Amino acid sequence: MSAPEEDLLAAVPFGVLLSGVLRVLLAEERREEFVGDLVEQARADLADQPLPQIGLWLWGQTLHSAPSLLVARARRLARGATGLSHPGARPLPAVGSLLGYRAETRSWSLPMAISVSVHALALSVLFVATLGGMEELQAPWVRIGFPHPPSAAAALTIAPEVPPRLEARHHRKPRFTLRPIASVAPPAFAPVASASLTEAPIEDPEVREVIVILPPVVADKRCVSCPKPTLPPAFVRLGAEQRIDVKTCVGARGNVTSVDVVRGLGPLADAGVVDTVRNWRFTPHSVGDHPVPFCYPTRFVFTMN
Amino acid sequence: MLKEDIPGSFEQLVLLAVLRLRDQAYGMTVRAELEKRTGQPTSLGAVYTTLERLEGKGYLSSRATSGGAEREGRARRFFSVEQSGLVALQRALDVLDRMRADVPALRPVAVRA
């Protein structure tokens, strides 16, 4: 054999680099044994081979072993263990043990597992609730709410002119002006108008309604007579778009029950739009066999044309 | 009730190789025995990690000795199977026997000596 007897690993081409690779792959207490095995086998099987051939074989053996050695070393590092040379070494707490996993018995601590499960469930509920709170940020959107179970919905009697109480369900301050609900008696000491921004309770069993919010593209298709509003000439500016956003609520018979300006241009321009929309007519919208009132956001964009 | 550990297939092979090699079982010889008996190439790294894992489970014990000139003085670690390793290996082989028994597509279970 042409290899020197003192250090085969250092004699082969790129032997120093190979030593570095082995230093990465193996802990010190295992590296000596591993290299010893490689050298012993190389001297036994490749005795008549030139050094480059031996080096190639050593590189091949090392790289072939690299995946399993890397995984083993990563696991050992994750466990915080110091290796088999210190059998009494106590491993550091790993993520699994923090979650109640007992590696020595391959089982879970029941109290800890219950605690983790409850927290995971609570986080899931919070996540879903957060998504629900973001519902109104999505557009277009459709929301159908049943105040009563479907079995009771069959016996609903829908007051034709009861305005929808959409915002009463929201936790945030409503964006639109609410009107007092006919079947909810206002307090004797308060005028009716004072209830306009109050979030009316909806638990009243006498109030039976089906609330529908339609996206504009759906509501527009139900429109039978919808002449476009116009702006007073003074509002038409050259090269600038003018925009008015309103919320239109339509009764069960198809007539417009309310028009609320969400974003306007001023009392004069808004009044013209509101007066026009108030005369619109729609095909009634039905849920099941029952015509129901609905609301939808409407945007008017005025240009020079 | 605690789940009984059943060594995996490669762990079974390594345990069997260590048993067959008796007092000459260390990394290189275990790898050679596996390749000889299975006909499959086996990396020395896989053998080392499996030996280490089995030792961690208490199935194997080891003793380090100083190496000779053929190893350039590097240490050598011999492995031997502990009683718990024997029990676990027997359990795994019994499970395999029960699973393959009466399966027409397979040859009948050979009688172990």
Model pLDDT, residue B21: 95
Q: What is the pTM of this model?
A: 0.46
In a domain, A158, yes or no: yes
Q: Which residue, A49, A79, A109, sits at the end of a domain?
A: A79
Q: Are A154 and A228 members of one domain? A: yes
In a domain, A226, yes or no: yes
List C-alpha distances in Å: A67 to A19, A26, A45, A72: 17, 11, 24, 9
**Residue A294 φ then ψ, to 5°:** -145, 160
> Do B72 and A8 count as a contact with CB atoms less than 8 A apart?
yes
Model pLDDT, residue B33: 95
Residue in chain A lying closest to B2 (CA): A105
Burial of A24 from C-beta contacts in 10 A (0-12 / 13-18 / 19+): exposed
In a domain, A132, yes or no: no
**Residue A264 φ then ψ, to 5°:** -125, -175
* B-chain residues near A68 (CB < 8 A): 43, 45-46, 48-49
Q: Are A175 and A298 members of one domain? A: yes
Residue in chain B lying closest to A7 (CA): B72
> Do A65 and B3 count as a contact with CB atoms less than 8 A apart?
no
pLDDT per position as a tens digit, A272-290: 889 999 999 998 888 877 8
Q: Are A145 and A72 members of one domain? A: no
CA distance B75 to A125: 58
**Where along chain B do its domains lie?**
9-100
Q: Which residue, A37, A58, A79, sits at the end of a domain?
A: A79
Q: Are A257 and A153 members of one domain? A: yes
Instruction: Select the highest-mean-pLDDT range: A109-113, A169-173, A199-203, B100-104.
Output: B100-104
Q: Are A61 and A200 members of one domain? A: no
Q: Are A152 and A72 members of one domain? A: no
pLDDT per position as a tens digit, A150-205: 444 444 444 444 444 444 444 444 444 444 444 444 444 433 333 333 333 444 44
> Do B72 and A61 count as a contact with CB atoms less than 8 A apart?
no
* A-chain residues near B45 (CB < 8 A): 25, 34, 64-69, 72
**Residue B77 φ then ψ, to 5°:** -115, 120
Domain that holds residue A221: 141-302
**Structure token pair of residue A246:** 């309103």
CA angle A63, A65, A70 (to 5 degrees): 95
Best mutation site among B48, B54, B59, B84 for testing chain A: the one with the most A CBs within 10 Å?
B48
**Contact at 8 Å (CB) between A82 and A74?**
no
In a domain, A147, yes or no: yes
CA distance B16 to B34: 9
Q: Are A179 and A268 members of one domain? A: yes
**What residues of A are in the B interface, CB distance below 8 Å?**
5-8, 25-26, 30, 32-41, 43-44, 61, 64-69, 71-72, 84, 105-107
**Contact at 8 Å (CB) between A61 and B43?**
yes
CA distance B101 to B113: 18
DSSP for A71-106 reads: HHHHHHHHHT---TT-TTPPPPP-HHHHTTEETTTT
* B-chain residues near A106 (CB < 8 A): 2-3, 5
Q: Are A71 and A146 members of one domain? A: no
In a domain, A214, yes or no: yes
Bridge pairing between strands B76-81 and B60-65: antiparallel
Number of domains in chain A: 2
Q: Which residue, A28, A49, A79, sits at the end of a domain?
A: A79
Q: Are A166 and A289 members of one domain? A: yes
Q: Are A46 and A191 members of one domain? A: no
pLDDT per position as a tens digit, B14-69: 999 999 999 999 999 999 999 999 999 999 999 999 999 999 999 999 999 988 88
Q: Are A189 and A291 members of one domain? A: yes
* A-chain residues near B74 (CB < 8 A): 32-33, 35-36, 39
Q: Are A162 and A289 members of one domain? A: yes
Query: Hey, what CATH topology would domain B9-100 get?
Result: Arc Repressor Mutant, subunit A (1.10.10)
In a domain, A174, yes or no: yes
A and B: number of Cβ contacts within 8 A? 86
